[in-house]
Amino acid sequence: MNLTDEMKATIEQLTAAGRGILAADESHPTIKKRLEAFGIESTEENRRAYRSLLVTTPGIGDYVSGIIFFEETLGQKTDSGQGIPEACAAAGIVPGIKVDKGLTELPDTGGEKVTQGLDGLGERLDGYKAQGARFTKWRSVFNIEAHKPGELAIAANAEVLARYAAIVQSRGMVPIVEPEVLMDGDHDIQRCAEVTEAVQTAVFTALRRHGVALEGMVLKPNMVVPGKSLPRPEPAVVADHTLRVLRRTVPAAVPSINFLSGGQTPQEATANLDAINRAAGPKPWVLSFSYSRALQEPVQQAWLGRAENVEAAQKAFLARARLNAAARDGRYEPAMEGEAA
């Protein structure tokens, strides 16, 4: 696949210095769970108001280069009546869109999953592009258990990710490729590293097979961390294991690696990103963030679905984005958390 001028311009904007990507692409069931945790009803109007709050935060374009949206949001407007994609563009933020259709069971694998949504993807992309989207995201998930993920689940999801990326690039858009090894479980950090390396090796083999231009994509991986039931390691330990896997699996041609937070706390995700950027050794990629919960939890907690709390919620969003921008450059200090509160 040839890298078009359009794709180059999108990559340049997404990888701009000191910035990262917000994932605000939660499906209806997921956003319902997130909002209801703070007593907010997940109505269409509340979802619109919330995402309007995010994109109209004064100064957010200094720290956020792109926002991934759910399909519904591309057609919604801000409180002032401006289309949400247009509001992003006005703030110097690239609008993106989640295009997968969730998980389905992979037969004869003991319950392992594969992501669906390739049918009609090209036509859907044409519509999303007409609405202003310039990049896309597709997520595949891998659970760690004693004998999982199996070879079939890894191969099937790698193939789907590569087919997706090739279709997206054929439309002049930039694909975010997200192979997430989940934190759920009691596995240690070495087991996470082993599985993450196997998954990313398979993904890049498939991307090459399908002719995807590596210079025109973004990788959105998990950090290498132990399962949730184990104690949290020091950021330097996470950085060491994560970078070892990336150096073994991710070609230098990939312009940007934007980590998912994957259930880490906002503070943990920021500290680990900072440690990755501070670590010694070769790092040929931009190493940034594409967080959902780790950016949005403080915002939702401040907002609570009330119009009078919008300014406080926007300040919380800006503060969290600023901290992650510092971590993206290896400038974060834990003392900065108090300044942001």
What one-letter code names the amino acid at 244?
A: R
268 is known as an active-site residue? no
Nearest to 306 by CA among 89, 13, 53, 21: 53
Known active-site residue 220: yes
Cα 125–Cα 130–Cα 132 angle in degrees, nearest 5: 95
- Which residue, among 329, 263, 309, has the nearest Cα to 50 in the 3D structure? 309
Catalytic residue among 26, 112, 178, 180: 178
State both tokens at 28: 């209806």
Report the alpha-carbon distance of residue 9 to residue 222 in Å, rounded.
Answer: 26
Helix locations, the chain, DSSP H? 5-14, 28-36, 44-55, 71-74, 84-90, 121-130, 151-170, 189-209, 235-249, 266-278, 293-303, 310-328, 336-340
> 98, 113, 137, 220: which one is catalytic?
220
CA distance 62 to 44: 28
Contact criterion met (CB below 8 Å) for 101 and 128: no
CA dihedral defined by 11, 12, 17, 19, rounded to 10 degrees?
-40
List active site positions.
178, 220
